[in-house]
Amino acid sequence: MEIKPGKEEKELLSQLQVINMKIESILQQKSRALWIKQGDSNSKYFHATIKWRRMRNEIKGVHCLSSDTWMEDPNTVKEMVKEFYKTKMSVIVDIGVRLDNVEFKILTNSDNLMLVEPFEEKEIKDAIWDCDSSKSPVPKGTTFSFIKKYLDQLHKDVVEAVKYFHR
């Protein structure tokens, strides 16, 4: 016998989802506040870290292959980098790979039928549990953490959605 959730239960589930999203948002904000408190307070350490990252990411010069010299003049470096990418993006390189006599494997009829069969409920559940709990199947939607936690209540709806997708 199948029991359908009533209007009140649906409303409570909806409210629970909103509360879970708010809690997750608060936790993210707290983690950012902790970073500000411990490391991003315009301290000497913070500025030293930023300076180190800028120095590490800076291109100080390039080696010119044609003249076998090291170039550090900013304008020369810019021109050489620009020329490098201009050449890289405009040249079509034939890598010499040919597939004339290659035999590709072909799916058998049974493999093909297996690929178009409807999903089993166990496959759907396994797929849900394989997903990262902090991710969401839709932008700004319910996370897999919520779906996993309430899968017993959502099971029928999830299976129906997957079956609808498959059709």
User: pLDDT tens, 10-50?
Assistant: 888 889 899 988 888 887 777 666 666 665 556 777 788 88
Cβ-contact 145, 156 below 8 angstroms: no
For residues 9-43, b (16+ Cβ closer than 10 Å) or e, as one string? eeeeeeeeeeebbeeeeeeeeeeeeeeeeeeeeee
Q: Which residues contact 17 (CB under 8 A, 6 or more apart)?
A: 142, 146
Indicate the domain borders of the chain.
1-58, 60-97, 118-167
Give the separation between CA 164 and CA 47, rounded to whole angstroms: 54
Model-level pTM?
Answer: 0.36
